[in-house]
Amino acid sequence: MKREKFIQITTASGSRKTLEKIAEVLVEKRLAACVQITGKANSVYRWEGDIERAEEYLCFIKTRKSLFGRVEKVIKMLHNYEVPEIIAFDVYACGKDYEDWLEKELKR
C-alpha cells in the first residue's frame, strides 16, 4: 500500500484557548494526529493599512495532505481571527515509527 504524504499546518492566535479548542476538535475527529501549541511569539504584520504588532501562540498540526481542506474548515469555524494564518508544509521525511503512528491515528 502506497503511503500518503503528510503535512504540517501552522496557525497562530493571541488566544491560547482558541488554539486548544481547535486542537481538541482536530484530534477528536482524527483530522490531526498531533497538535502542538507553543508559547508566545512576537508578530509584526500589516492589517487594514496599519503596521500591527501582537503576541501570538503558534500552533503546529500534523495531518495527511488529503485532509487539508477539512482541517482548514475547522480552523476557520473556530478561530477568533477574521483571516487566520493557515499554511501547510510538506513533511519531507520523518522517522519510520512516527510515520507508522501518524498512519494509524489519522482518518483515511
Q: What is the pLDDT of residues 17-32, one digit of tens each?
A: 999 999 999 999 999 9
Name the DSSP class of 3. Answer: P
Q: What is the pLDDT of residues 86-101, one digit of tens each?
A: 999 999 999 999 999 9
Q: Is the pLDDT of residue 35 over 70?
A: yes
State what percent of residues in the chain have pLDDT above 70: 96
100: which residues sit within 8 A by CB, 6+ positions away?
A: none
The pLDDT, as a whole number, for residue 107 is 79
Q: What is the pLDDT of residues 40-79, one digit of tens each?
A: 999 999 999 999 999 999 999 999 999 999 999 999 999 9
Helix (H) or strand (E) run with residue 20 in it: helix 16-28
Strands (E), 1-108: 6-13, 34-47, 50-64, 87-90
Residue 74 burial (CB count, 10 A): 18
The pLDDT, as a whole number, for residue 100 is 93
Would you say the C-alpha torsion 40, 87, 2, 70 has a positive or negative sign? Answer: positive
Domains of the chain, start order: 6-105 (3.30.70.120)
Cα torsion through 17, 43, 81, 102, rounded to 10: -60
The pLDDT, as a whole number, for residue 1 is 46
pTM of the model: 0.93
